[in-house]
């Protein structure tokens, strides 16, 4: 992807030098991630571990529950590398690009786009959705309307998920910005309201596939900057971070009822649809029968 010399966003908050004070970790975020990745069984296992830890005096529940969004941060000296600085420049350009494309697309359908902020943090960081943890990968918090990323995720994308390349990295940001778009349109809120219902996982899959579609839509409007192999890079990332791929890596088997993001094939298909269409009107993952997504 051609990106050097292009406009940089002013909405990136470089928080790499801000360190969270100890004892402000929140369990809410961990629960969300475990649920997302392993379903209810994973949550039970987490609860059991927590109980044992508490009984043995290893875990202080008051400290865990007390922190979260309030988290105190201290400013520390942060030593970056030239490679990481370049990565920071890169995500700043990608964010600017999503701002331009979504502003135009919202205007086209008579709406007004509000740009999100992108927070670049290291390791752990307080958010309105609980403590962000680098191990969860990049995420979007609807409560503060910010995208969070620890740049070290790009190492794991390359090594653990075998999805190297700058366009794979850009796709990840575009997917999270897709969740911001869904929040602005009120779609995320409708899905959140289904939490606790038996078919909630299905709604979650529809939401995730739509975010992949929206990432594809972004790629559609970026065509003039694409280089050979870019689309394959994004598809490889979508392929590697599908629920089935992650489950077979972490559990050795696949259980579709615990899917919250969709299979690799579905994720690639919806990214591709967005790439071909480029129109928000066609992001109809909620209208299609679940079995034909
Ligand atoms: Zn997502």
Q: Distance, CA 76 to ligand 1 centroid (Å)?
A: 31
Tokens for 9?
């966003």
- The rounded distance, in Å, linking the Cα atoms of 119 and 132 is 11
- The rounded distance, in Å, linking the Cα atoms of 25 and 59 is 11
Mean pLDDT check: name the lowest of 15-24, 43-52, 83-92. Answer: 43-52
Residues near ion ligand 1 (Cβ under 5 Å): 208, 211
Mean pLDDT check: name the lowest of 50-64, 206-220, 222-236, 252-266. Answer: 50-64
- The rounded distance, in Å, linking the Cα atoms of 239 and 265 is 7
- The rounded distance, in Å, linking the Cα atoms of 269 and 172 is 16
- The rounded distance, in Å, linking the Cα atoms of 51 and 272 is 45
Q: Distance, CA 161 to ligand 1 centroid (Å)?
A: 16
> According to the model, what pLDDT value does residue 76 have?
86
Q: Distance, CA 139 to ligand 1 centroid (Å)?
A: 7
Q: Distance, CA 75 to ligand 1 centroid (Å)?
A: 30
Q: Distance, CA 176 to ligand 1 centroid (Å)?
A: 6
Mean pLDDT check: name the lowest of 24-33, 120-129, 166-175, 260-269. Answer: 24-33
Q: What pLDDT digit, counting tens, does each position of 242-274 carry? A: 666 656 666 666 666 666 777 888 988 999 999
Q: What pLDDT digit, counting tens, does each position of 43-73 carry? A: 777 777 666 666 665 555 555 554 444 467 8
- pLDDT band at residue 26 under the 50/70/90 scheme: low
> According to the model, what pLDDT value does residue 22 have?
63
- The rounded distance, in Å, linking the Cα atoms of 186 and 164 is 33
Q: Distance, CA 172 to ligand 1 centroid (Å)?
A: 9
- DSSP for 192-222 reads HTTTTSTTHHHHHHHHHHHHHHHHHHHHHTT
> According to the model, what pLDDT value does residue 66 have?
44
Question: Higher confidence at residue 73 or residue 108?
Answer: 108
Q: Distance, CA 196 to ligand 1 centroid (Å)?
A: 19
- Distance, C-alpha 182 to centroid of its chain: 13
Q: Distance, CA 217 to ligand 1 centroid (Å)?
A: 15
Q: Distance, CA 208 to ligand 1 centroid (Å)?
A: 5
Parallel/antiparallel/unpaired status of strands 73-75 and 117-120: unpaired
Task: Write the DSSP symbol of residue 186.
Answer: T
> According to the model, what pLDDT value does residue 67 have?
45
Q: Distance, CA 248 to ligand 1 centroid (Å)?
A: 19
Q: Distance, CA 57 to ligand 1 centroid (Å)?
A: 35
Q: Distance, CA 59 to ligand 1 centroid (Å)?
A: 30
Q: Distance, CA 210 to ligand 1 centroid (Å)?
A: 9
> According to the model, what pLDDT value does residue 29 have?
67
Tokens for 206?
């529809």
- The rounded distance, in Å, linking the Cα atoms of 285 and 289 is 9
The arithmetic mean of pLDDT across residues 6-16, rounded, is 96
């Amino acid at each position: 992807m051609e990106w050097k010399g292009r406009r940089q966003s002013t909405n990136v908050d470089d928080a790499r030098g801000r360190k969270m004070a100890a004892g402000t970790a929140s369990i809410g975020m961990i629960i969300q991630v475990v649920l997302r990745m392993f379903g209810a069984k994973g949550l039970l296992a987490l609860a059991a571990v927590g109980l044992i830890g508490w009984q043995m005096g290893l875990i202080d529940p008051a400290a865990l529950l007390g922190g979260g969004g309030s988290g105190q941060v201290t400013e520390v000296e942060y030593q970056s590398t030239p490679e990481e600085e370049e990565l920071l420049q890169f995500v700043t350009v990608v964010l600017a690009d999503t701002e331009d494309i979504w502003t135009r697309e919202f205007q086209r359908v008579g709406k007004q786009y509000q740009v999100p902020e992108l927070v670049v943090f290291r390791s752990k960081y307080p958010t309105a959705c609980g403590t962000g943890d680098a191990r969860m990968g990049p995420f979007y918090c609807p409560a503060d309307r910010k995208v969070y990323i620890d740049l070290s995720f790009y190492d794991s994308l390359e090594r653990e998920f075998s999805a190297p390349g700058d366009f794979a990295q850009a796709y990840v940001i575009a997917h999270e910005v897709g969740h911001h778009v869904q929040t602005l349109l009120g779609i995320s809120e409708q899905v959140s309201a289904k939490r606790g219902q038996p078919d909630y996982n299905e709604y979650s899959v529809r939401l995730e596939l739509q975010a992949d579609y929206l990432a594809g839509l972004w790629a559609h409007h970026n065509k003039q900057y694409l280089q050979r192999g870019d689309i394959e890079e994004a598809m490889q990332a979508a392929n590697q971070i599908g629920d089935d791929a992650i489950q077979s890596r972490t559990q050795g088997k696949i259980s579709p009822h615990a899917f919250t993001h969709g299979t690799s094939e579905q994720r690639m298909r919806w990214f591709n649809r967005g790439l071909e269409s480029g129109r928000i009107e066609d992001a109809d993952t909620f209208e299609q029968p679940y079995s034909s997504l």
